[in-house]
Amino acid sequence: MGDFESPFLDTFLGGDELSSYDLSEVGVKEVSAVLATASPASSRDLVEDVDYVLDVREGRIVLIHPDISPLHHGQTLIVRGRSEGMFTDEDLQVYIDDALNQHAYGRNITTRYRDEHGFIRYLHEPITLENLPPVEEPLIAYLASINVLWTLATDAATDIDISTAEGTHVPRTQRYRQLMQHIGDAGSGLTARYNTLAQQLNVGLGRIEMFTLRRVSRTTNRLVPVFKPREYDDTSMPQRLLPPIDGDAYDDESGIPSPLMPGVWG
């Protein structure tokens, strides 16, 4: 994304007028504020929520202590810190978690081992960032970047081109078009890059899966239970599978009870 942290340093001169100051960056963190006085020469560190409050996302500092609010003549407010860019680490973590949930949906890592009694067991662990195969790490980065770009495109979708009577033209919708081109579709952009690699590895939501067809018992007219296939030497308890049952459109909503004995016929 190229959305790296950057340091900033802002200096504000007092004039007995303002208590709120906009910083040069938004999405700030690790902020420290110092109040310097010219006469007599002195300085002191300000304490957050005591001397000032900070709007982290908007990048704004508001002085609240009565001795320094508003900032007086001869006083200088020095604010330094770091900017997280367009997205904070917490925001990016949400996108990464969403990408992992989509990419690894329905997948587990199976490990074969022998327990303390000598029986062969199988451990099924959901895929997380800790046990994700290294070859799939770029795919998580691609998918997370796609989700981030969709957020930026949604923000840019409300921009409109500006044309003035003097002939000035500002194509503000170009930002939206460029974002959508970078996101791409099945044949271009990051989406195509992700889909191509995911298909080669047979991972992701579009992977090829094998399903077990269910049959209905001719004697009870009920679905026959289906169990998860196991290795021949797997001695663990069988795991029941519950495939979805379609056909809600054919449900009988009359409320009339069936006269047949439940569990025998019907």
| pLDDT at site 249 | 67
Phi, psi of 179 (to 5 degrees): -65, -45
Percent share of the chain, pLDDT over 90: 43
Reply yes or no: is the peptide bond before residue 243 cis, omega within 30 of 0: no
| pLDDT at site 212 | 76
Statement: residue 118 has pLDDT above 60 = yes
pTM assigned to the model: 0.70
126-163: per-residue pLDDT in tens?
899 999 999 999 999 999 999 999 999 999 998 888 88
200-211: per-residue pLDDT in tens?
999 999 898 877
| pLDDT at site 252 | 78
Whole-angstrom distance, CA of residue 68 vs CA of residue 243: 67
Q: What band does 10 get if pLDDT is binned at 50, 70 and 90? A: very high
38-52: per-residue pLDDT in tens?
888 889 999 999 999
Task: Give which of 197, 199, 215, 216 is closest to 207, Cα–Cα.
Answer: 199
Lowest mean pLDDT among 91-100, 134-143, 204-213, 244-253: 244-253
Residues near 20 by beta carbon (within 8 Å), at least 6 away in sequence: 60, 61, 62, 63
Mean per-residue pLDDT of the chain: 88
CB distance 38 to 74 below 8 Å: yes
| pLDDT at site 246 | 64
